[in-house]
Amino acid sequence: FGIQLSVNSISILNKIGFNQLDKNEKYHPSKLDFYSIDCNKICDLDLTTFNSENEKYTTLKRSILIKFLKEKLLSNSIIFRKKINKVKKINEKIEINFTDGSNDKVDYLIVSDGIFSDTKTEVEKIFFKPNYLGAIAVRAQIKNKELLNFNIDNISIIMGSSTHLVLYPVNKMRELNLVCIVRKKAEDNNSLKTILDNTILKENKNFTNLFKGELKSWPIYISSKPIQSIYKNVVYIGDAFYTFPPTMAQGASQAIEAANEIFELFSNNHPDVQNEYFKNRTEKTNLVNRRSKLNYFGFHISNPILKILRNFLLKRIVKNKNFIQAYLGKIYQ
């Protein structure tokens, strides 16, 4: 499955050689195309605005990114399949006890085990219940390009009523990743087929072939607020810190940013890593979160009059350099 990385994270990954990754294993879409549910193009956004010669908006397979990170980040020092059983502070150290009976004492514990973080619950002695966004994600891989009426060189966003699709290539072979976000009530126990039939396929039956392959689906949760640990030497990153709605495609990029911020604080021997990190990360998180929620609303408009207004505004703002700089520049740069 695919992943999108904007230039804010590419500039960081390049420090460890991402720009040397096989060019056939990644792709640099130049535009973000907006479509209505009937496949009529509304407008497009130039993604190259924030690119430089070596830092470009990138799409690729998640498996390729994970393999790259494993190879580059001290692979001999990474131990997998360890599960934390208990965490406690002893003097200025953090003692970690694992379920296999082993233990370790560390100066800092950096937690990145997702929105349902067991480690965070153990450390803070509080169960953090995420909020259900009221939607599910459906993901598929598309190989038959002849089925599509979109420009497969670009990222395509197709907006329907209470649903939207995102389609993009993940490598030079133009293998395509499809993600569909569908609004769904928590108590709705209908099958995935029924949900798709009653939403996206009800609006456009031509999309039926997109969902004939193997599908993965899951409910979408978001965080209530960023969490600062009760211990000065425990820090949360990624979804363990805060989980965004998926409508800015910034989850991975923000996690990479966060890791780099912590690295730089350590490198500079900052006297208060946790507070400085939490202050800066919360500010950026709030910025990304506001835009993600606005996108979520805009992508799923059902009212016909509001759709006309949205499309009218989209055509104008994507060409307004000042607006794009204000809306995306503070995130991408």
- 297 in Cβ contact with 134 (< 8 Å): no
Which of 153, 149, 148 minimizes the C-alpha distance to 31?
Answer: 153
Torsion of CA 75, 262, 82, 239, to 10 degrees: -120
Quick one: average pLDDT of 26-38? 95
Q: Look at residue 16 and tell me whether its pLDDT is greater than 70.
A: yes
pLDDT at residue 4, as a whole number: 96
Lowest mean pLDDT: which of 86-95, 140-149, 290-299? 140-149
pLDDT for 209 equals 84
273, 275, 38: which is closest to 158 by C-alpha? 38
Which pLDDT score, from 0 to 100, does residue 220 have? 96
Nearest to 224 by CA among 241, 248, 249: 241
Span 294-307, average pLDDT: 95
What is the reported pLDDT for 255? 95
The structure's pTM equals: 0.91
In the structure encoding, which two tokens stand for residue 112, read together? 């990145």
* pLDDT confidence of residue 186: 85
Q: Average pLDDT, whole number, for the chain?
A: 92
Q: Which residues share a beta bridge with 222? A: 131
Q: What is the pLDDT of residue 317?
A: 95
Please tell me the predicted confidence (pLDDT) of residue 143.
Answer: 74
136 is written with which tokens? 């599910």
Share of the chain above pLDDT 90, in %: 80
Position 146 pLDDT exceeds 60: no
For residue 147, pLDDT over 70 is answered with no
- Would you state the pLDDT for residue 67? 93
Whether 274 and 235 have beta carbons less than 8 Å apart is answered as: yes
DSSP sequence for 175-218: -EEEEEEEE--TT----HHHHHHHTHHHH-GGGGGGGSS--EEE
Q: Which residue has the higher pLDDT, 79 or 156?
A: 156
Residue 237, helix vs strand vs coil: coil
Q: What pLDDT, on the 0 to 100 scale, is given for residue 144?
A: 62
**pLDDT at position 74, please?**
77
Non-local (6+) Cβ contacts of 190 within 8 A are 198
What pLDDT digit, counting tens, does each position of 260-300 carry?
999 999 999 999 999 999 999 999 999 999 999 999 999 99
Q: For residue 253, how many other CB atoms are within 10 A of its CB?
A: 24
Length reported for the chain:
333
- The per-residue pLDDT for range 167-190, each reduced to its tens digit, is 999 998 888 999 999 999 988 888
Q: Which pLDDT score is estimated for 330?
A: 86
Distance separating alpha carbons of residues 332 and 250, to the nearest angstrom: 9
pLDDT score for 106: 94
Residue-wise pLDDT for 224-262, tens only, equals 999 899 999 999 999 999 999 999 999 999 999 999 999
- pLDDT cut 70: percent of the chain above it: 98
- Note every long-range contact of 282-285, with CB atoms under 8 Å and residues 24 or more positions apart, other chains counting: 282/226, 284/254, 284/257, 284/331, 285/226, 285/241, 285/242, 285/244, 285/254
Here the tokens at position 241 are 């810190």
For position 287, what pLDDT does the model report?
Answer: 95
